[in-house]
Chain A
Amino acid sequence: MKSVRRIWNRIVEFVIEKAIFLAGILSIVFVVLIFVFLLKEGLSLFKEYSPLAFLFGTKWYPISHPPSFGIVPLLLGSVVVTLGSIVIAVPLGVGAAIYVGEVAPVWLREILKATVEFLAAIPSIVLGFIGLVTLVPLVKQVFHLQTGLTAISGSIMLAFMAMPTIVSMMEDALRAVPSSYRYGAIALGATRWQTIWRVMLPAASSGMLAAVMLGIGRVIGETMAVMMITGNAAGIPTSLMQPVRTMTATIAAEMGEAVQGSDHYFSLFAIGIVLFIITFAINLTAAFFINRRSKA
């Protein structure tokens, strides 16, 4: 009886161990498979089309004859919208994080934090059409433009999407600063603002940079909202007041109409590779900053 139980236990142990291992390894397998598939499809473009013309070409005319697959306008579209949203979201996010983490009374802190995090729960398509009917006409009116479907509308909308990530991660970073730093500064006669500015922010800077990086990662990969409100004209933007088309919006808009196996189809995968590399680099940078924080 006893030995049966022992064998049974060993079987259960073995099965559970392997199952957990499988669950852990699966995520890696999926990432690798996705990347391999992406590479296979995307690189097929370069059998017939020069990689240099793809990376540095300034014209995106996928269905003209001969087609032109230059992604510079799309890349710039993504960069402009992302930079714009970061310029908006970071100061707001830092301010909000300091207020929530350091200044607000406890009862208000809980409400604010929950509200900011709730912002992350709004589906991006909802933010997109709210932006379309409220923000786009406003931008058109304020800047006296012919259309409000511009990069800046996308930036503002995406800033809202990046805020939850940025605020809640920055607040965590501030909270992780040992309270002895705060007391050390206060004991020297520093005011609250001096303490925050000279001690808390430098000590939390790694975590706060990581928050910005992850915010950028979220923004650059965002698709639906930007597709709805940035105008989708694949020209090279010279200002924030012009319509732009991002890489994500291009893939979403054209994948349905591209003939499978055609150069157009492969070119969309190639864009996917570029996006993948960019977000991968951003996440890697964020991980670097987070690591540096935990070591310090």
Chain B
Amino acid sequence: MVDETSKDKLVVKDLNVRYGTKEVLRQISFAVRSNEILGIIGPANSGKTSLLRTLNRLNDNDAAFSMSGTVTLDGQDIYKKMAPHTLRRKMGIIFALPTPLPLSIYENIAYGPKLHGTRNKTALNEIIERTLRASFLWDEVKDRLDMPAMKLSGGQQQRLCIARTLAVEPEIILYDEPCSGLDPISTAKVEEAMTLLTKQFTQILVTNNTKQAARVSDRTAFFLTGELVEIDETQRIFTVPCDQRTEDYVSGRFG
């Protein structure tokens, strides 16, 4: 399963991550297939967020961070063969707390495409409508695109961040507990958006909510104290996991 096949988009091999002397990820190996949603579950301190930060190279400026092993995107080593901003253009990330920029709704989404050279007004308008529709926000904001993004509700801000990420046209989208601060209705909208986005994108969803992983992900990986315990089809993880610890976690016996 961790073998590199042509369908594998992102391959993580023998990844070890430390912050100072603290080991947060140990010997992680797995592959993410094209156009799947991979759910990553596990209790606090299991290394889920550290994994995402490592995949997106957000740790680069952290002096305490050190790693070994490789992460390859389409066969290219992301630490040796890519500039961080090139990588992040291909691999967008949605944080747990929405991170709108202090700009209007329109400018928030236009920011990424403008950075990467799209100046044409009609093209930008088209991108904005398309991405807002994809994140199920269009109907709520189409008449007030000039409003400061900070004035949106938390759920709307999070969907705006998804739209903003889509506008850069990445290949992979990482979600770091994207619904932890959202109400059930907003959560449902975000999940609906994710499901529809699988046609275009490969998605990795880190979540504290095992039910969410069960609902939206094709495959699920279970992390525990820095180790990858098990990765398999979501249905199998939640019904007949191989490892006793996985079963205990998904059935709510600890966590």
Contact = CB atoms under 8 A, between A and B. Distances in A.
B18 interface: no
Q: Which of B63, B94, B111, B164 has the most CB of A within 10 A?
A: B111
B101 A184 contact: yes
Given A187-B88, A189-B86, A181 B102 contact: yes
Contacts of A145: none
A203 B63 CA distance: 26
Interface in A178-205: 180-181, 183-191, 194, 198-199, 202-203
Contacts of A203: 102
A296 B92 CA distance: 28
Interface string B193-235: 0000000000000000000000000000000000000000000
A293 to B, nearest CB: 11
Nearest to B63: A106
Interface secondary structure of B, over-half rule: mixed
Given A183-B58, A183-B95, A188 B115 contact: yes
A188 B58 contact: no
A23 B168 CA distance: 58
Interface secondary structure of A, over-half rule: helix
B22 interface: no
A189 B118 CA distance: 14
Contact of B111 (A105, A106, A198): A198
Interface in B91-123: 92-95, 97, 99-102, 111-112, 115-116
Interface residues of A, number: 19
Contacts of B116: 189
Given A186-B58, A187-B93, A296 B102 contact: yes
Nearest to A199: B101
Contact of A194 (B94, B95, B115): B115
A187 B95 CA distance: 9
B88 A186 contact: yes
Interface of A: 105-106, 180-181, 183-191, 194, 198-199, 202-203, 296
Given A184-B161, A187-B93, A190-B111, 10 more contacts: A180-B97, A181-B99, A183-B95, A183-B99, A184-B164, A187-B94, A188-B165, A189-B89, A189-B112, A189-B168
11 contacts: A106-B63, A180-B97, A183-B99, A184-B100, A185-B101, A188-B164, A189-B89, A189-B112, A189-B115, A189-B168, A190-B111
Interface of B: 56, 58, 63, 85-86, 88-89, 92-95, 97, 99-102, 111-112, 115-116, 161, 164-165, 168
